[in-house]
Structure 1
């Protein structure tokens, strides 16, 4: 358990686990802390030193009024690797974390060995937005119904029927309102289209085939934009494919990260 310092002085909480020589940095989704990775991280600890962290505004990291943007979050990633003394790492980002990973890989190509972009979007004019129906389901005034709608976007009914929680992927409850707004705006305003074309790391794009929270149609868009990237859609999976379909996603990503060139 350590604290890095961002460029603006904000404290960034991170944890390192695992026994491998190579580093795998895992980036969580919007308004979530490092617990997003509690389950899937276990698939990588035997092979890598895994690094998880709390985005600014979440968990044990500082919650400043400013600094909320996907490119700024990528600078926070750099600060954490600098604090560790790590010159390069594999990077796996999901959802908003995938947006952050796009910027990090584009801005620091010499620091990314292999890149995995999960359930994410290029944003901007080229990204495929969720439907109005999905947006309405999340904006319900009844908070219990809105929470249930979010769970059903993340997981299949079969999973929810046998997994009553607690859930680590539906937001950090302790975020102050300004930080929650900052995360929302960061995701909404992300436009990584030009950045994608600058990525040089070998790249795997993973998405749940039934994801409508961040529509699966974004996966081939990203894979076509990143040089030599490939996409893999996991049948029947929704947004949290990395947890519910861990028996598929874990080996898939591990094979990609450990493959010899």
Structure 2
């Protein structure tokens, strides 16, 4: 698997699929590697290629004790540089949406169009998950926290029809220090002051029944980013991009198609 080196000396693994000329960078959720996108990645192929990478701390990338959403954005820049991509469409979900905010705000020349899925601006302006949700994810009984996360990601009907494997529950190969640092990176994200400076055309997508990252964050982002569009997926939970792919993937592709080429 190809790697590139970041300016601070971290090896980042990246993956390219598809043959299309229009590049789309896909960024995964917290403590996940590129396999987050496995079930839906082909939806975007045809007239475009997709790029993913393993965040520092995940997959076969290096695992230093030093991540943040701003550093993850620099890792994305290193991947774009390695592939010779000057500007890409960027689609980030969950923590990947937080990284995408940093990328679009701090490196506007590298982002043609932006899609933010099931994510949050972070900081004091964000709507946090409830204490009940936090307690469900902190259960110590074997399998209880995993089941709670599954039910926050997907509806019961979808889980009954799709027994797995599930690619959105975290990278099982992550060392403990990397998992802790990913949590800190996501929790410390605060892009509120950066959002008005995002110039890329932006689509915000969120499931109405998302309790892991409450749906109330979606209008906050859409109102804060100039000209952003908002689409709520009725009845969808956190992994709307997978369970509701029949809606979400065409929605993203249609939006990207409407953005004029430079």
- TM-score, with length taken from structure 2: 0.98
Question: Is there any run of 5+ residues in structure 2 with no aligned partner, and where?
Answer: none
Please give the alpha-carbon distance, in whole angstroms, between the structure 2 residues aligned to 1:145 and 1:182.
23
Structure 1 residue 58 and structure 2 residue 55: aligned?
no
Structure 1 residue 36 and structure 2 residue 36: aligned?
yes
* Partner residue in 2 for 1:196: 195
Please give the alpha-carbon distance, in whole angstroms, between the structure 2 residues aligned to 1:41 and 1:115.
17
Please give the alpha-carbon distance, in whole angstroms, between the structure 2 residues aligned to 1:7 and 1:124.
27
CA contact (8 A) 2:113 2:259 kept: no
Please give the alpha-carbon distance, in whole angstroms, between the structure 2 residues aligned to 1:60 and 1:257.
30
**Cα drift, residue 143 of structure 1:** 3.4
**Cα drift, residue 80 of structure 1:** 0.5
Please give the alpha-carbon distance, in whole angstroms, between the structure 2 residues aligned to 1:148 and 1:47.
38
* Partner residue in 2 for 1:95: 94
Q: Segments of 4+ in structure 1 off by > 3 A?
A: none
Kindly report the root-mean-square deviation, in angstroms, between the aligned alpha carbons of the 2 structures.
0.8
* Partner residue in 2 for 1:7: 7
CA contact (8 A) 2:201 2:259 kept: no
Please give the alpha-carbon distance, in whole angstroms, between the structure 1 residues aligned to 2:106 and 2:226.
15
> 1:198-213 counterparts in 2 under 5 A?
198-213=197-212
**Cα drift, residue 260 of structure 1:** 4.5
The DSSP-based 3-state class of the residue aligned with 1:92 is strand
Please give the alpha-carbon distance, in whole angstroms, between the structure 1 residues aligned to 2:225 and 2:40.
25
Please give the alpha-carbon distance, in whole angstroms, between the structure 2 residues aligned to 1:252 and 1:220.
17
**Cα drift, residue 227 of structure 1:** 0.3
Question: Is there any run of 5+ residues in structure 1 with no aligned partner, and where?
Answer: none
Please give the alpha-carbon distance, in whole angstroms, between the structure 2 residues aligned to 1:195 and 1:183.
21
Please give the alpha-carbon distance, in whole angstroms, between the structure 1 residues aligned to 2:125 and 2:40.
30
* Partner residue in 1 for 2:25: 25
CA deviations 1:60-85 (Å, max 9, x no partner) are 1111122x100110010001001111
Please give the alpha-carbon distance, in whole angstroms, between the structure 2 residues aligned to 1:65 and 1:214.
25
CA contact (8 A) 2:26 2:92 kept: yes
> 1:159-170 counterparts in 2 under 5 A?
159-170=158-169
Please give the alpha-carbon distance, in whole angstroms, between the structure 1 residues aligned to 2:150 and 2:89.
29
The DSSP-based 3-state class of the residue aligned with 2:113 is strand
- TM-score, with length taken from structure 1: 0.98
CA contact (8 A) 2:211 2:237 kept: yes
The DSSP-based 3-state class of the residue aligned with 2:194 is helix
Structure 1 residue 47 and structure 2 residue 34: aligned?
no
Please give the alpha-carbon distance, in whole angstroms, between the structure 1 residues aligned to 2:142 and 2:206.
27
